[in-house]
Amino acid sequence: MKRSPLAFMLATLCGLAPFADAQLKKAPSPAGEWGFKTEKMGYGCALFGEISIKQTTDKSYSCSFKAVWGCELRQPKSVETDQSCVATQAGSDITITSKIEKITRVDPADMMDFMRRRYAADHFAVKINTRGDEMDGIFHSYGQAPVKFRRKHELVS
């Protein structure tokens, strides 16, 4: 059985429709409450915390977060910070650029002045998944590591 060129073209276009539709869907917004954690880096150090992201324009967001830099094999054992940030979204790619507002705690406490001078803001380049409940990518500051964000869900009673 021979197909006409028109029938072939229609069959091809219909087969591509679901793919094209998926490409046109808008990426989910990162606005909301998230928890995050990096993989361990040198000396068993990792960054973890909670971030709140609020939409300001179509593709930009203001945010703030509390983070803990914790290390297993070196001093300081932990540094707790409050940071403000700006997030920009291009499709599913999200860039979070941060500024340290305050170092709230250092263990050991006698390293507080040193950390105030040396601690660098924590930045992220992540991709939001199609469900909008996870973001994966890279943390970078003085170090760099994979990071995962998970959306916090409110409990419904």
Q: In a 3-state reduction of DSSP, which class is residue 7?
A: helix
- Tell me what pLDDT residue 139 has: 98
Contact between residue 105 and residue 71 where contact means Cβ atoms under 8 Å apart: no
- Tell me what pLDDT residue 19 has: 44
The pTM assigned to this predicted structure is: 0.81
What is the rounded distance in angstroms from the CA atom of residue 33 to the CA atom of residue 51?
6
What is the rounded distance in angstroms from the CA atom of residue 54 to the CA atom of residue 40?
28
- Tell me what pLDDT residue 15 has: 52
Provide CB contacts within 8 A for 49, sequence distance 6+: 35, 36, 65, 66, 67, 68
Write out the DSSP string of 81-150: EEEEEEEEEETTEEEEEEEEEEEEEEESGGGHHHHHHHPPPPEEEEEE-TTSSEEEEEEESSSEEEEEEE
The encoded tokens of residue 71 equal 């290390």
pLDDT in tens, the chain (157 residues): 555 544 444 444 445 444 444 445 789 999 999 999 999 999 999 999 999 999 998 889 999 999 999 999 999 999 999 999 999 999 999 999 999 999 999 999 999 999 999 999 999 999 999 999 999 999 999 889 999 999 997 544 4
- Tell me what pLDDT residue 152 has: 94
The encoded tokens of residue 39 equal 């993989």
Between the alpha carbon of residue 128 and those of residues 36, 133, 143, the distances in Å are 13, 8, 22
